[in-house]
Chains A and B, each alone.
Chain A
Amino acid sequence: MARATGGRADQPAPCVEVTGVTKRYGATVALDDVSLEILPGTIHALVGENGAGKSTLLGVLAGRVAPTSGRVRIFGEPAALGNPRRARAAGVTAIYQELTIVPALDAAANVFLGTPLARSGWLARDRMRARFAELCRDFEVTIDPDVAAGGLSIADQQLLEIMRATQADSRVMLFDEPTASLGAPERAQLHALLRRLRSQGVTVVLVSHNLEEVLDLSDEITVFRDGRIADARPAVAWTKASLVEAMSGRRTALVTRTSRPPERTATDPVLTVTGLSAPGVLRDVTLDVAAGEIVGVAGLVGSGRTSLLRALAGLTPGAVGALTVDGRVTRLPRSVREAQRRGIALVPEDRKGQGLVLTASARVNIGLPDLHRSARAGWLSGRRLTDQAAEAARGFGFDPARLGQPVGQLSGGNQQKALLARWIYARPRVLLCDEPTRGIDIGAKEQILASLREFAGQGLAIVLASSEFEELVAACDRVVVLSRGRIVSVQRPGDGTVTPATLLRAAFDHQPFVEDSHVS
């Protein structure tokens, strides 16, 4: 579907036309005079660094955000700006970066949110159930229609949103980082879905930090930088290197594999957990982490990665197992505070729900675990807090100028960086990271992984759960692979023979746990 940008005469009329759109938030210019055309029946990708304005543009198209100035036409008709209802009526729906689920409503009701199947005002529950079952079949998932959506995993919640959009007969579908919370198989399924949508004539606008995915899927790629369009070309005219260059505005060496520290002499583990079980989610997991080591946790969605980390951080009440921290045998922590006292910190996967106070500034969010340190005699010193927060945030490429801004106003990727900075600020002994690079742009991702290595080098023990197996291979000394709540394999990327494919194969492997594989 290569299309020369020059010859416009034979092209179909664009289905989305953005003309001179500017969006200001106070002094921040999120979008600066952006003009863009999207052709019907294509997959059009938007890429750019964190805070470049991609989500804001999607918000404008979907009626979530009212632009300060500018015009939008959908299929030639002027769009009602800032009105999600009218945008939907015009055939535009969005799957947002921060999920929009009604937690108390059941799964089926969430799929039909706003547009329930009904006959003259009465809900047609039978038809909705049948349709829900059909959608589940299409997506090859099993989700109980009656379970409250709030109890589902993030990946399942996102699937509900995608089902909602397909259900609403959208002609233009906007996806804001849809694959960020998905594992490899779900990701492949989503790719197939996007292609299927395109073949059905639906126009897809895709925001993603995964450049391989973008190059592979899209017809056109538009690069954003600082609220402006840096460049727009057909996908075939881009390479990964040229995309990175256009995003950052400078030539950078591409994704060098994080240099690995020399083999350490065996140190005693900082944290050892044995026989960790939690009803229904974890079974007899044994794991240890030494100072200076990064241990990866791989596995498919639902394999127990998050549960493992949560259990170590005191968030899974039913969990049992023996824990040793710094040679001292203790019980599993029963609360976050208890975990913190032992020096265990968790960076959770759901940054909004479990991590950040959205109305508070970034520096307060970073300093939250230990505000005492920035206080004198109970009085918080703003300057000390800023200094210490800035120091913690620097490692993750968080712009210090944004420290005073409420976290709710930061872009998704910058929120994630603030969350990471918080737990470095807390100076833990053991750092548990659940999907730490979700929603992070490619440049910053390298930086974050490099920083984690550096913190490990300073003696921190790190456990890193990720659905991006490339990342695990690049950053970890050891990777344990979970399947159905058990460790099924242990791999050592250090010797150079382990590839992401090795991990994926192991994750699919349901063979019982081999006895000696956890010995470090």
Chain B
Amino acid sequence: MSADGTTTLERPVPAAREDARRSGQRLLGGLVNSPLTRLGTVWFLLLLVVLAGLLYPGFYDSGNLRNILSQNAPIGLIAVGMTFAMIGGGFDLSVGAVAAVSSVTVAKLTASVGLPQAVGLTLLVAAGLGLLNGLLVTRLSINPFVATLGTASIYSGAAYLISDSQPIVVTVPHFQWLGQGLVGGVPVSVWILAVVFAIGALALWGTVFGHCTYAVGGNREAARLAGIRVDLVQVVGYVVVALMAGLAGVLLTSRLGVGQADVGSDMTLDAITIVVVGGTSLFGGEGSVWRTGVGLLLLGVIINVADFQGWSGQLESILKGCVLLTAVGLDVLTRRLRARAGAAST
């Protein structure tokens, strides 16, 4: 009954009105605390999928479902990385710029080195940019918003410089396989996304590193005093998210067939939206990769339906904002109810 489950009282027998009020509260508390409603976004998603099926007859076609996934694969990768950074108490506004740098870098490199080398080097560059973010935040103690706002501007400028502000057309054969190929009827990019999600979820849930990430994000000082290398954990978070942004840049380039400095323009905010809609805390210490998965599908489905309805990009943007605020608002509301239901210890 109480939050720690140690105090139990016999059921009181007050006046009838009182009784009704209490059982109402109990019912509310039970509802709010049950595992089903905790995953409010899951219900939201299911509802949406049903609605989408009604609104849009072709929604369940395998072609359409495949489309939803492959179109959202790059942003999904970034969102997984962002989940790591945010749970660890960090934040990264530079992911779009890192994706842009990666896009133009991989396009340039394919002209001179082999395909695997080009991809490998690009990912290395992306990881390096993440390392820089991480060092700025931990070593120089610059606020993550400010630090990555600064590097976002720098990286984005660099992407334009590298590409001379021109799209770089990739002519190498096989390069498009990453973004457009199919394996067993499923796009390669979707396979990659699935593997990254699985690894990410396992790493956060089941490894010592995951444990440390939650601890650092949840209470940095407590984690430090418990002997956790808090700086290292946070730096790894920034490297992971940048690496994912790099991979996303490569996938996008492969799908479009050109490297461009403006591929990442919307990606940063979209990725954050997905993570937050999924229910990962902006303040760190709470969240999970699979929640981000739910957030990704939610946004993917909404955009898909909006596309079908022929809505413009501007309308889509308004819609995204509404979804974000609704999701976060619901989250705050359920938290408040939960706190009320299990109020007070001692």
With A and B bound together, what is the CA distance between A109 and B286 in angstroms? 13
Instruction: Name the CB-closest residue of A to B87.
Output: A104
Check A89 for interface membership: any CB of B closer than 8 A. Answer: yes
Check A340 for interface membership: any CB of B closer than 8 A. Answer: no
Residues of A within 8 A of B286 (CB): 104
Check A142 for interface membership: any CB of B closer than 8 A. Answer: yes
With A and B bound together, what is the CA distance between A275 and B128 in angstroms? 65
Provide 23 A-B residue pairs closer than 8 Å at the C-beta atoms, listed in order of the A residue.
A84-B224, A84-B225, A84-B227, A85-B228, A104-B218, A104-B286, A109-B215, A113-B222, A113-B223, A121-B209, A122-B208, A123-B207, A125-B206, A143-B4, A152-B345, A283-B12, A301-B346, A303-B346, A304-B7, A316-B343, A318-B340, A485-B7, A485-B9
A142-160 contact mask (Cβ, 8 Å, vs B): 1 or 0: 1110010001111110000
Check A371 for interface membership: any CB of B closer than 8 A. Answer: no
Number of inter-chain CB pairs below 8 Å: 159
Q: Is the CB of A109 within 8 A of B211?
A: yes
Residues of A within 8 A of B228 (CB): 85, 113-114
Q: Is the CB of A121 within 8 A of B226?
A: no
With A and B bound together, what is the CA distance between A62 and B2 in angstroms? 35
B-contacting residues, A76-118, CB 8 Å: 84-85, 87-89, 94, 96, 100-105, 109, 112-116, 118
Q: Given A85-B229, A302-B7, are A101 and B345 also a contact pair (CB < 8 Å)?
A: no
A-contacting residues, B190-231, CB 8 Å: 206-212, 214-215, 218-219, 221-229
One of B6, B222, B224, B343 near A317 (C-beta < 8 A): B343
Q: Is the CB of B211 within 8 A of A104?
A: no
A-contacting residues, B163-207, CB 8 Å: 206-207
One of A89, A105, A122, A310 near B214 (C-beta < 8 A): A105
Residues of B within 8 A of A280 (CB): 1-2, 7-9, 344
Q: Given A151-B4, A316-B344, A318-B25, are A100 and B221 also a contact pair (CB < 8 Å)?
A: yes
Instruction: Name the CB-closest residue of A to B336.
Output: A317
Residues of A within 8 A of B226 (CB): 84, 88, 100, 113-115, 164
Q: Is the CB of A105 within 8 A of B7?
A: no
With A and B bound together, what is the CA distance between A86 and B29 in angstroms? 45
Beyond contacts A114-B212, A118-B207: 6 other A-B pairs, Cβ-Cβ < 8 A, are A102-B219, A141-B6, A143-B6, A153-B4, A301-B346, A320-B18
B1-42 contact mask (Cβ, 8 Å, vs A): 1 or 0: 111111111001010001001100110000000000000000
With A and B bound together, what is the CA distance between A315 and B222 in angstroms? 27
Instruction: Name the CB-closest residue of A to B345.
Output: A153
Instruction: Name the CB-closest residue of A to B340.
Output: A317
Instruction: Name the CB-closest residue of B to A281.
Output: B344
Q: Is the CB of A310 within 8 A of B344?
A: yes
Instruction: Name the CB-closest residue of A to B229.
Output: A85
Return B112 CB to nearest CB of chain A, in Å: 38
With A and B bound together, what is the CA distance between A301 and B281 in angstroms? 32
Return A102 CB to nearest CB of chain B, in Å: 4
Check A326 for interface membership: any CB of B closer than 8 A. Answer: no
Instruction: Name the CB-closest residue of A to B284.
Output: A104
With A and B bound together, what is the CA distance between A305 and B222 in angstroms? 28
One of A103, A123, A147, A152 near B219 (C-beta < 8 A): A103
The 4 closest A-B pairs by CB, nearest first: A114-B226, A280-B1, A100-B222, A306-B346
Instruction: Name the CB-closest residue of A to B29.
Output: A279
Q: Is the CB of B25 within 8 A of A147?
A: no
Q: Which residues of B contact A (CB under 8 A)?
A: 1-9, 12, 14, 18, 21-22, 25-26, 206-212, 214-215, 218-219, 221-229, 281, 285-286, 340, 342-346
Return A266 CB to nearest CB of chain B, in Å: 31
Residues of B within 8 A of A115 (CB): 226-227
Q: Given A113-B215, A122-B207, A320-B18, are A147 and B5 also a contact pair (CB < 8 Å)?
A: yes
With A and B bound together, what is the CA distance between A123 and B210 in angstroms? 9
Return B8 CB to nearest CB of chain A, in Å: 8
Instruction: Name the CB-closest residue of A to B220.
Output: A102
With A and B bound together, what is the CA distance between A154 and B18 in angstroms? 31
Q: Is the CB of A105 within 8 A of B2?
A: no
Return B152 CB to nearest CB of chain A, in Å: 28
Residues of A within 8 A of B224 (CB): 84
Check A23 for interface membership: any CB of B closer than 8 A. Answer: no
Q: Is the CB of B215 within 8 A of A118?
A: no
Q: Is the CB of B6 within 8 A of A102?
A: no
Most chain B CB atoms below 10 A, which of A118, A151, A307: A151
Instruction: Name the CB-closest residue of A to B7.
Output: A302
With A and B bound together, what is the CA distance between A303 and B211 in angstroms? 34
Check A278 for interface membership: any CB of B closer than 8 A. Answer: yes
With A and B bound together, what is the CA distance between A474 and B208 in angstroms? 51
Q: Is the CB of B344 within 8 A of A307?
A: yes
Check A277 for interface membership: any CB of B closer than 8 A. Answer: yes
Residues of A within 8 A of B206 (CB): 122-123, 125
With A and B bound together, what is the CA distance between A317 and B209 in angstroms? 39
B-contacting residues, A282-305, CB 8 Å: 283-284, 301-305
Residues of A within 8 A of B208 (CB): 116, 118, 121-123
Residues of B within 8 A of A100 (CB): 219, 221-222, 225-226
Q: Given A123-B210, A279-B1, A484-B7, are A103 and B218 also a contact pair (CB < 8 Å)?
A: yes
Q: Is the CB of B4 within 8 A of A64?
A: no
Return A107 CB to nearest CB of chain B, in Å: 9
With A and B bound together, what is the CA distance between A304 and B212 in angstroms? 35
With A and B bound together, what is the CA distance between A101 and B214 in angstroms? 12
Q: Is the CB of A89 within 8 A of B227?
A: yes
Instruction: Name the CB-closest residue of B to A151.
Output: B3
One of A94, A122, A281, A283 near B2 (C-beta < 8 A): A281
With A and B bound together, what is the CA distance between A85 and B230 in angstroms? 10
Residues of A within 8 A of B227 (CB): 84-85, 87-89, 114-115
Q: Given A100-B222, A101-B219, are A305 and B343 also a contact pair (CB < 8 Å)?
A: no
Residues of B within 8 A of A104 (CB): 214, 218, 281, 285-286
Instruction: Name the CB-closest residue of B to A116.
Output: B211
With A and B bound together, what is the CA distance between A315 and B340 in angstroms? 10
Instruction: Name the CB-closest residue of B to A107.
Output: B4
With A and B bound together, what is the CA distance between A320 and B21 in angstroms? 10
Instruction: Name the CB-closest residue of A to B205.
Output: A123
With A and B bound together, what is the CA distance between A125 and B4 in angstroms? 21
Residues of A within 8 A of B215 (CB): 102, 105, 109, 113-114
Instruction: Name the CB-closest residue of B to A96.
Output: B225
With A and B bound together, what is the CA distance between A91 and B338 in angstroms? 40
Q: Is the CB of A102 within 8 A of B218?
A: yes
